[in-house]
Structure formats: structure tokens, C-alpha cells
Amino acid sequence: MKNLLNNLFRKDLNLQKYWWHRLLVVIFFICFIYMLYAVSRDLFANNFSNVIQWKVIDSVENRLTSEVKQIRDLKKYGEQVEEKNRSYAISPEDELLYDDFYCSTELENKIQDIQDKSGITNLYLSRKNTSIENFTKYIRDYDIVCLIPDAYTYSDNTKIRFLEPLGPNILYGKDLVFFKESVLLTGLYITKVFLYVIAVFAVIAVVYYKVFLFIIFGNKKKDN
């Protein structure tokens, strides 16, 4: 191991006598420390939202019953609801995104009940008002289990509220799941990020000692 380190750091060259080598070493460590600081700052900004990793606990559909419930009533402590294949960070701003959705395993028979609960009478398909008969048929044909209470504000500030189905469409997917913070996954993610930084600077060091110094001094030992 000692010989390996000696060969890597070119102890045969007595590099400490060269001012430019000492300067480059100082610059290297300054850059390394700054990079660790920058990575730490980005990771732990915004209440740690950039670093927290989440694991899937259960699907929304698994917790549904025939009784109409909003998603907020299905969540347990510390859980958030999001799309199943979400690949970006869950932020605190997303916590209430799906909470108002009304869900039931027998949704087609609960439309009137949801209208009464929400106080919303308009039923929309593709952002167009439709009859309860067409709406119910759509729910049955596409096996919809959740309705979205939504609203649209016109240019004259007139606001209209309506219910629309959750999927299948490009705005919302059907596969909603419960996520919970994972200490293990978060720890592994932080470790991976810092190991990546260390690996990058390790490669820079190897290139400096094995390539840059080889170009300058060659591969033969110098006499002191």
C-alpha cells in the first residue's frame, strides 16, 4: 500500500520544492471544500425537500371502500399522496394537492352524494358540462374511482366550480399511491451524492499525478 501511494503521489520527484505544485494543491483543496459546501447547501435547502427520499407504502385504491371519502381521510400520519411513478422530489407545497379528491369503489352510484357533500353541481368531461347520465356512464366505462373538485376563472373573474373524473387523461393519472419519508433511502442518497463528489476529485488527482506530471517529468525517478 505504501509503495502504491508513493507511486501515485510521485514521491520520487520531491514535488514540495516546486511552487506551482504547492499552489495547485491549495487550489485543489479549496475547490474540493467549496464543492462539498455547495452540494450541502443545495441538498439541505428548502426544508430538506431536495434530499428527502420517499418510499411507496400503499395505493389509494387499496384503501377505498364503498363509502365516499376524501383522500385526506385515507392518509395516515406522515404520508403524502402522489403519482406512482413520480421521479422528482415531493415538496411541502404538494402535500395538499390531492386531499380534496372524492373517492369510492362504487363511484357511479355516489355522484349525487358527492355533489351534496361538495356543494358542486356542475359535472365536466373534457372541460365541458355534461349530464349526470353521461357522467355516470363515463365513470362506469372507465372504472373511475375518484372525482376532482376543480374550478375555472373566466376573464371577467367569474368563477365556476365543477367535478371531473380522475383519469384516464393527460392531466392526472389513475395510479395514486401513499408515500412516506424513508430514513434509509435518504441516507443512501446523501452518501451517494458525496461519494460522487469525492470520486470526481479523486479522478482529478489521479489525472494530475499520472498524466500531467508524467508529461512534465516523464516516468523515471529524479535524483535528489
Q: Are 82 and 177 in contact (CB under 8 A)?
A: yes
pTM of the model: 0.67
pLDDT at 50: 72
Q: Are 163 and 114 in contact (CB under 8 A)?
A: yes
* Sign (positive or negative) of CA dihedral 43, 44, 46, 48: positive
Q: Which residues of the chain have pLDDT under 50?
A: 4, 170-173, 222-224
Triad 51, 53, 58: Cα angle to 5°: 155
Name the residue ranges covered by the structural domains of the chain: 2-46+183-217, 54-181
Who contacts 196 (Cβ-Cβ below 8 Å, separation ≥6)?
none
pLDDT at 171: 41
pLDDT at 3: 52
